[in-house]
Structure 1
């Protein structure tokens, strides 16, 4: 018996909502491209460890022109932002999809890549602030934040900065980490995410991560939009 058949015997309205509201409405909304929506959804699933839903969304992502190397970068990126255990679980879930589509290792990014240029002034300001504020609390965390994240991870060319920010914001909202959204949503919008697209990220995550997660993030998004519109 397929999962869909079980839905009809256990909770048929769930399947009707999946068919009518999510597949035939949410995924067709113009405010966010299907490519962006698949990145948002995949990032939310990885962040929350929702493995059963992942193969379908990986398929949607591949069909929406998200390349295997971009998916690899999303998984690698979210290892740092949602935990390496979640990334390993995601790899196990994505593997059968790649096998079925005959996606080979040579289609994936090398570990040795020429990094994107670093904004030295901006990074110096960030590092000085974090170091002076938290250096005495957890020097290791502060050091790895500089070396592993902002001087390596964020400079990897396998994922456009806008898409990397999009994945980060989606993961933060999906896990209720709203105190981190301010920095990363501003970074996402600086990288080209529009206000309309950002709002639609919440619409998508309301379905995939739950309404409370979306509503917890709404005040943060609202404040950021208002401040940016005042400039």
Structure 2
């Protein structure tokens, strides 16, 4: 797969030539203020942003933010896992669209397969109690409707993908919540935001995720999610 024609983000001069206002909001608002807010680390902001861009197949910005992520502590292996994870949560097409931009970054930095997670690594321990509860609930609801979905939700997602050690459970949850918000999958946020907080994401960090991602997914997507987020926060007090 060729990476020679990977599109790149426009320069600030190019943005200014089209919209001086967009350039101002970018430099003063997004870069100068939002990225500097202390409630979420720069590394976490990179993960949230990359997840949103991959989820929405926004390839023009992906290479720049893959680079930014690597510069701020996200490893090549973690980026690899994020793309893999999002194949299941936003579709194979969106994950495959991210291959060329990420490969271009890996090629430029000399990252080879030895630095990436194995296809079939030794998995993290399974939380048997909580997984049994989840599986029983899903089977009860949907076994008669779509038994294949129920099977692969258990076999591929919760007994394999979520146990891959290349991405910490907290970060995997952060990716998932970001992607669900970006794709306005509001009905799934309750489960995954609770899971994220069980995996170590604090209330303050979770709140800031939605502030940050509003700039990359648009206000309507975030405003649609906030009632669910409010209910999750209230249920955990």
TM-score range, shorter chain: over 0.9
Of the candidates 152, 159, 163, which is equivalent to residue 160 of structure 2?
Answer: 152
Consecutive unaligned residues in structure 2, runs of 5 or more:
1-9
Query: What's the counterpart of residue 4 of structure 1?
Result: 12
Kindly provide the CA deviation profile for residues 8-28 of structure 1, in whole angstroms up to 9, marking residues without a partner as x: 221121122111111111111
Query: What's the counterpart of residue 117 of structure 1?
Result: 125
1:112 Cα offset (Å)? 2.3
1:90 maps to 2:98: yes
Q: How many residues align?
A: 228
Name the SS of the counterpart of 2:236 in structure 1.
helix
Consecutive unaligned residues in structure 1, runs of 5 or more:
none
Of the candidates 2, 5, 25, which is equivalent to residue 17 of structure 1?
Answer: 25
1:162 maps to 2:170: yes
Cα root mean square deviation, aligned? 1.0
Query: What's the counterpart of residue 177 of structure 1?
Result: 185
Which has the larger share of helix?
1
TM-score, normalised on structure 2?
A: 0.94
1:72 maps to 2:56: no
Kindly provide the CA deviation profile for residues 45-84 of structure 1, in whole angstroms up to 9, marking residues without a partner as x: 1100111011111111101110000011111001000001
Query: What's the counterpart of residue 111 of structure 2?
Result: 103
After TM superposition, the structure 1 stretch with the greater mean CA deviation from structure 2, 5-14 or 188-197, is 5-14
Name the SS of the counterpart of 2:120 in structure 1.
coil
TM-score, normalised on structure 1?
A: 0.96
Of the candidates 121, 135, 139, which is equivalent to residue 147 of structure 2?
Answer: 139
Query: What's the counterpart of residue 186 of structure 1?
Result: 194
1:5 Cα offset (Å)? 2.9
